[in-house]
Amino acid sequence: EVLAFARARGYGAVVLSTSMVQVAAQRLYEGQGFRRVGTSYPSLLGTLLNFQIFHYRCELGDGN
């Protein structure tokens, strides 16, 4: 629904983030065409614990 909504309104891409422990979400996004484009840490504690946030992007193209 989100991808269709964004395409219909002329957006070129959809971006989102999820945590490293949300493996089912990662698989869902990758299955829908998202690719991981980066990682970050939510806080200093997250850095110390190596708790990463994964950033994803799905290019929508021009709708053709």
Residues 36 and 41: their CA atoms lie apart, in Å, by 15
Domain ranges, residue 32: 1-59
Residues 23 and 20: their CA atoms lie apart, in Å, by 7
Residues 13 and 47: their CA atoms lie apart, in Å, by 28
Within-domain flag for 30:
yes
> What is the reported pTM?
0.85
Q: The domain spanning residue 55 has which CATH number?
A: 3.40.630.30
7 neighbors 62 (Cβ within 8 angstroms): no
Residue 5 has pLDDT above 80, yes or no: yes
Within-domain flag for 12:
yes
> Model confidence over 7-43: pLDDT tens digits?
999 999 999 999 999 999 999 999 999 999 999 999 9
59 vs 47, higher pLDDT: 59
Domain tally for the chain? 1
